[in-house]
A and B are shown apart, each in its own frame.
Chain A
Amino acid sequence: MNAPEPKDAFKVVGTRPIRPDGVEKVTGKAIFGTDYKAANMLHGAIVRSPHPHARIKSIDTSKAEAVPGVKAVITGADFPSLEDIIVRMGESSGSTVDISTNIMAKDTAYYDGHAVAAIAAVTRQAALEAARLVEVDYEILPHVIEMCDAFAADATKIKAAINTVGLGEGEQGRPNASLKFTSAKGVAAAAMANAVHVVSGHYSLKPVHQGYIEPHAAVAAWKADGKLDVWCSSQGQFDVRGLTASVLHLEIGNVRVMPLEIGGGFGGKTTIYLEPVAALLSKKSGQPVRVAMTREEVFRATGPAPGGEIDVKLGADADGKLVSAEIEFQYSSGAFGGGDAWAGVMHSVNHYAIEDYKVTGWNVLCNMPKHAAYRAPGAPQINFAVESAMNDLADKIGIDPIELRLKSAVKPGDPSMMGSKFGEIGLIECLEAAKAHPHYSAPLGKNQARGFACGTWMNYGGPSTASVSLADDGSVLVTEGNPDIGGSRASMALMAAETLGVPYEKVNVTIADTSSIGYSMVTGGSRTTYATGIAVIEAAKAVINILRERAAKMWETDVANIEWIDGSAVCTDADNAGKSFTLAQIAAKAGATGGPIAFENGVNPLQHLPGYGAHICDVEVDKETGNVSVVRYTVVQDVGRAIHPAYVEGQMQGGAVQGIGWALNEAYIYNKDGRLDNAGFLDYRIPVASDMPMIDTVMVEKPNPGHPYGVKGVGEVPIVPPLAAVGTAVSRAVGKPMRSLPISPDKVYAALNGG
């Protein structure tokens, strides 16, 4: 592809206009998941297992059915059985058998909160009362939740059918491990033996939730013709359609999914939980049904990102250059296969050039909800361990942490862990910018300390469709298939406006339902501004070619004589030289020159161009209470090119805040009976605004040659480095390594008092 256009050539790319969806959202008018109502709609309620592991001996729904107003009751028996088909999603893949089983237990409940039955009734109250009257006869089975129990060689197997994939010849798996995956280069052990400086450590992390503010909700209408309409908020209506169709054994074209506004997903809304439940209730009752989760249900039944147990050993030569890495870790995946071990391995040392390494990851099942993607899935956990160890190494050698990293940092042309050569990556630029930032050398106050970490996310493109069409007054309509989570309507409008040479305000962006435009993969994996952006720019370029043809007709000349300059067709032939028609003038004549002006464009850019970030964190520790406050935080990141800088900065800040919460306070707490004890934001502590300092951002712009305007994915990188940046800062303030997250006040207190 051609080199991206130089930055100073841009007219609107790089500006910060108000997002098109902004007014509707800040005035509370935008329609989110739970806002949508259909005529004659019923209200759903879900019966959930109170046991972390139990065989369902029988379910008696007769009392529930007798409640006045109840129109339908379903259980796992109402779901179609499924062949095991792998369905691709943006950030993870899963088997539809697992997805269907997770949506509604069939013969066994695998976690506290696992759905076992559902009701539809004329009021939510009636549905809830009926839900209480469903009688489930459980045979309680032994459960395993903590990684140390789940991974033990003699662990209770939570499912008969678990096999460890990826074992060597004759190698023994573990009862609950579904995958062992190794990436190796050279001979790590021998290189480690020759290393001059060696550090090692064991790191632990609890599972965490994505913490999106909007609970899941879906409305489904099973129509008389057997086709299904669904309204829901998700990260991708097309994947909701595909998964729902698979689970319900429907033809994909018979399912139409209408996207609603989404109040946060962070990977957790790339899968489905409610749509088939609402659909089957609708089928049985003959009315549209809304099923919405409470916050408690969101915590009990959706989203954990894996917890992990990680062993890291790093070796460096006398100079500090990394010569070997030996890493082995386990990630929890909830009660189902799949998981993030592969991604954990691939992001472990993909920021360092090391001749010899061996990295092994395991996916391990336990009696928790099915794991779901969370922003840079699998990367923050392993990065916490590797970057904390890097800081230990810097201390051991007595070298500045950024200097240490510069000795091994990957650069364009180096081999990546994926087996290819790196393209135009910007890690070194980020490290240099962090080193030069005033924060890095600012003096620290009493009880304060500083931590540094850098990290990466691989980024991806994948399939997207967009169309650009014109109305006869010159309005530009961009239609895309990606839900707008972080301001992507604004970015699409900016890219279309830039390409066409029209003002941003002329462009209207619509996120279409699955029957109104071609397929687009989920909004996730940091892919949307990159891949869907390419679709929009190319569609806009195609529209320019149509406009040139129409102008040529209007001047009765050859299209080769028409140039597109600043939103107008300019004629270069002798008769009309220098004359021009604006986009609006040509659009007004569309009827006479060939009909509607529109172009739909499907793309599938497969590029992996990793993004890199470098974070600096200052904390202050209250030595008497163990409370940690983050007093200063700076995020440096290579963003390729910021189409809308404010929304790029928002991604950088938001990722940092989520990472800080993960480091300090977030964790699932299960009681001894295997029940979730903190299913709400009171005791599942995501940061509140007053916990955070202003997060400073530095955008390093090293354009991506694979995108017309230089875009790189930016959404995921910023959640990767904070865990180690915060952890290291606290460790230094405390004077002891803090290697187990979350670093809550009681843990800090214990460390300070000899614990």
Chain B
Amino acid sequence: MPDLAYHAPDTIKQATDLLAANKGSRPLAGGTDLIVQMQSGRVAPVAIVDLKRIASLKEIREEAGYFAIGAAVPCTSLKNNKALVAEWPGVVEAANLIGSVQVRNRATMSGNLCNASPAADSVPALVAAGATAIVTGASGEREVPVEQIPTAPGKTSLADGEFVSEIRIPRQQKGGSDAYLRSIPRTEMDIAVVGAAASIVLDASGTCTSARIAVGAVAPTVLLVEDASKALVGSKLDDAAVAKAMAAVSAACNPIDDKRGTVAYRKAMAGVLAKRVIQIARERAGGN
């Protein structure tokens, strides 16, 4: 039986040192994936490095150009930041669809991202929002788009000893908003069969100047559907443009048949949810 070491560093530096020193160690945020996977035997780290004692990782900072969400901020806390809720209601909703209240009081968006599940709920919303991750390691920091963190189910682009210290979401543009929806057979406590997020910016005339549509659970990693953006930008998000975007989303999907849904159903739902999130984001952005 391998021994398991538990470390609870107070600083980012200590955390990176511990991660670098212990090959086969894992960061622990809420633990709502990690501990479950350790219990089931799916992962067996030699050491875990708890990020929750590091004060700077437990904050949400409102900077001029972005929101910085520390890696240890539980999803529930996102709802308490008024500016974040006003600017990115879809991101906050997505993170607060995860599990149940109890789960969200622990779970973090960084953990959701780094767990690299194709069905992670907050990730499509973060991708649509154009969020980035600050990746911290022994040799310093780098900033990468969130969609570049997961590379395959359960795999990330993080090097040994690196972890995500914060997620940055740009401040919302004037006339912009977002939305996230998922398809599940129940009403909660479920894993997305499909998830879809839209981030939309409208100009004063109601014309779409920017659109980012991202879908989850329909490919090995979350997809940002460029063709959907193309279908929407320059339009007034009329039925024809939205229908084109729906078709682009369905076409971009590369899902699998599994116990949670068939290929055909997932493709169809990706389109339906894309349509719905576009409509919600448009309403929120002040369009009609």
User: Do these two chains interact?
Assistant: yes
* Most chain B CB within a 10 A radius of its CB, from A664, A681, A746: A746
A-side interface residues toward B, CB under 8 Å?
Answer: 125-126, 129, 296, 624-627, 629, 664-665, 669, 677-678, 681-683, 685, 687-688, 690-691, 744-746, 749-750, 753
Task: Decide: A688 and B1 in contact? CB cutoff 8 A.
Answer: no
Q: Given the interface contacts A129-B1, A625-B272, A682-B191, does A677 sit within 8 Å of B259 by beta carbon? A: yes
Q: Given the interface contacts A624-B272, A749-B265, does A683 sit within 8 Å of B260 by beta carbon? A: yes
* Most chain B CB within a 10 A radius of its CB, from A129, A624, A664, A744: A624
CB distance from B187 to the nearest CB of A (A): 4
7 A-B pairs with least C-beta separation: A746-B265, A690-B187, A669-B259, A624-B272, A677-B259, A129-B1, A691-B187
Q: Is B190 close to A, CB under 8 A? A: yes
In the complex, what residue of chain B is closest to A626 when comparing beta carbons?
B265
- A746 in complex: contacting residue of B186, B188, B262, B272, CB < 8 Å: B262
* 15 other A-B residue contacts (CB within 8 Å) besides A690-B187, A690-B188, A746-B262: A125-B1, A664-B185, A677-B259, A678-B259, A681-B189, A682-B190, A683-B259, A683-B260, A685-B185, A685-B186, A688-B186, A690-B186, A691-B187, A746-B261, A749-B269
**Chain B, range 179-210, C-beta contacts under 8 Å to A:** 183, 185-191, 193
Task: Decide: B188 and A688 in contact? CB cutoff 8 A.
Answer: yes
Q: Hey, which chain A residues are within 8 Å of B261, CB to CB? A: 746
Q: Measured between alpha carbons, how far is A445 from B259 in the docked complex, in Å?
A: 32
In the complex, what residue of chain A is closest to B194 when comparing beta carbons?
A625
Q: Hey, which chain A residues are within 8 Å of B233, CB to CB? A: none
Q: Hey, which chain B residues are within 8 Å of A691, CB to CB? A: 186-187
Q: Measured between alpha carbons, how far is A688 from B191 in the docked complex, in Å?
A: 14
Q: Given the interface contacts A125-B1, A683-B259, does A745 sit within 8 Å of B183 by beta carbon? A: yes
In the complex, what residue of chain A is closest to B272 when comparing beta carbons?
A624
Q: Given the interface contacts A625-B269, A746-B261, does A688 sit within 8 Å of B183 by beta carbon? A: no
Using C-beta atoms within 8 Å of the partner chain, give the interface range for chain B: 10 to 19
Contact mask for chain B residues 16-38; partner A; CB cutoff 8 A; 1 contact, 0 none? 00000000000000000000000
Q: Measured between alpha carbons, how far is A691 from B259 in the docked complex, in Å?
A: 20
In the complex, what residue of chain B is closest to A629 when comparing beta carbons?
B187
CB distance from A673 to the nearest CB of B (A): 14
Q: Given the interface contacts A125-B1, A625-B183, A746-B262, does A688 sit within 8 Å of B189 by beta carbon? A: yes
Q: Is B219 close to A, CB under 8 A? A: no
Q: Given the interface contacts A749-B265, A749-B268, does A126 sit within 8 Å of B1 by beta carbon? A: yes
CB distance from B277 to the nearest CB of A (A): 13
Q: Hey, which chain A residues are within 8 Å of B189, CB to CB? A: 681-682, 688
Q: Hey, which chain B residues are within 8 Å of A664, CB to CB? A: 185
Q: Could you give 23 example pairs across A and B, Cβ below 8 Å?
A: A126-B1, A129-B1, A624-B272, A625-B183, A626-B265, A665-B185, A681-B189, A682-B189, A685-B185, A685-B186, A688-B187, A688-B189, A690-B188, A691-B186, A691-B187, A744-B185, A745-B183, A745-B185, A745-B193, A746-B261, A749-B265, A749-B268, A750-B265
Q: Measured between alpha carbons, how far is A745 from B193 in the docked complex, in Å?
A: 11
In the complex, what residue of chain B is closest to A661 when comparing beta carbons?
B186
Q: Hey, which chain A residues are within 8 Å of B187, CB to CB? A: 629, 688, 690-691
Q: Hey, which chain B residues are within 8 Å of A685, CB to CB? A: 185-186, 190
CB distance from B268 to the nearest CB of A (A): 7
* Most chain B CB within a 10 A radius of its CB, from A126, A629, A682, A744: A682
Q: Hey, which chain A residues are within 8 Å of B40, CB to CB? A: 296
CB distance from A744 to the nearest CB of B (A): 6
Main secondary structure of the interface of A (DSSP, over half): loop
* Most chain B CB within a 10 A radius of its CB, from A296, A687, A691: A691
**Chain B, range 239-285, C-beta contacts under 8 Å to A:** 259-262, 265, 268-269, 272
Q: Measured between alpha carbons, how far is A440 from B40 in the docked complex, in Å?
A: 48
Q: Hey, which chain B residues are within 8 Å of A688, CB to CB? A: 186-189
Q: Hey, which chain B residues are within 8 Å of A669, CB to CB? A: 259
Q: Measured between alpha carbons, how far is A685 from B191 in the docked complex, in Å?
A: 11
Q: Measured between alpha carbons, how far is A624 from B269 in the docked complex, in Å?
A: 8
Q: Measured between alpha carbons, how far is A595 from B109 in the docked complex, in Å?
A: 71
Q: Hey, which chain B residues are within 8 Å of A665, CB to CB? A: 185-186
**Chain B, range 73-109, C-beta contacts under 8 Å to A:** none
Q: Measured between alpha carbons, how far is A627 from B1 in the docked complex, in Å?
A: 46
Q: Hey, which chain A residues are within 8 Å of B191, CB to CB? A: 682-683
CB distance from A655 to the nearest CB of B (A): 19
Q: Hey, which chain A residues are within 8 Å of B259, CB to CB? A: 669, 677-678, 683
CB distance from A251 to the nearest CB of B (A): 40
CB distance from B272 to the nearest CB of A (A): 5
In the complex, what residue of chain A is closest to B261 when comparing beta carbons?
A746
Q: Measured between alpha carbons, how far is A746 from B268 in the docked complex, in Å?
A: 10
In the complex, what residue of chain B is closest to A129 when comparing beta carbons?
B1
Q: Hey, which chain A residues are within 8 Å of B272, CB to CB? A: 624-625
Q: Measured between alpha carbons, how far is A534 from B1 in the docked complex, in Å?
A: 55
CB distance from B259 to the nearest CB of A (A): 5
Q: Hey, which chain A residues are within 8 Å of B265, CB to CB? A: 626, 745-746, 749-750
Q: Measured between alpha carbons, how far is A372 from B187 in the docked complex, in Å?
A: 29
Q: Measured between alpha carbons, how far is A669 from B1 in the docked complex, in Å?
A: 32
CB distance from A678 to the nearest CB of B (A): 6
Q: Measured between alpha carbons, how far is A687 from B1 in the docked complex, in Å?
A: 38
Q: Measured between alpha carbons, how far is A277 from B268 in the docked complex, in Å?
A: 49
Q: Measured between alpha carbons, how far is A125 from B191 in the docked complex, in Å?
A: 30
Q: Measured between alpha carbons, how far is A427 from B95 in the docked complex, in Å?
A: 49
CB distance from B221 to the nearest CB of A (A): 21
**Chain B, range 140-199, C-beta contacts under 8 Å to A:** 183, 185-191, 193
Q: Measured between alpha carbons, how far is A681 from B188 in the docked complex, in Å?
A: 12
Q: Hey, which chain B residues are within 8 Å of A126, CB to CB? A: 1
Task: Decide: A627 and B185 in contact? CB cutoff 8 A.
Answer: yes
Q: Hey, which chain A residues are within 8 Å of B262, CB to CB? A: 746
In the complex, what residue of chain B is closest to A67 when comparing beta carbons?
B1
In the complex, what residue of chain B is closest to A755 when comparing beta carbons?
B264
In the complex, what residue of chain A is closest to B258 when comparing beta carbons?
A677
Q: Hey, which chain B residues are within 8 Å of A753, CB to CB? A: 268
Q: Measured between alpha carbons, how far is A753 from B265 in the docked complex, in Å?
A: 11
Q: Measured between alpha carbons, how far is A124 from B186 in the docked complex, in Å?
A: 34
Q: Measured between alpha carbons, how far is A711 from B185 in the docked complex, in Å?
A: 39
Q: Measured between alpha carbons, how far is A749 from B268 in the docked complex, in Å?
A: 9
Q: Measured between alpha carbons, how far is A683 from B258 in the docked complex, in Å?
A: 11
Q: Hey, which chain B residues are within 8 Å of A629, CB to CB? A: 187
Q: Hey, which chain B residues are within 8 Å of A682, CB to CB? A: 189-191
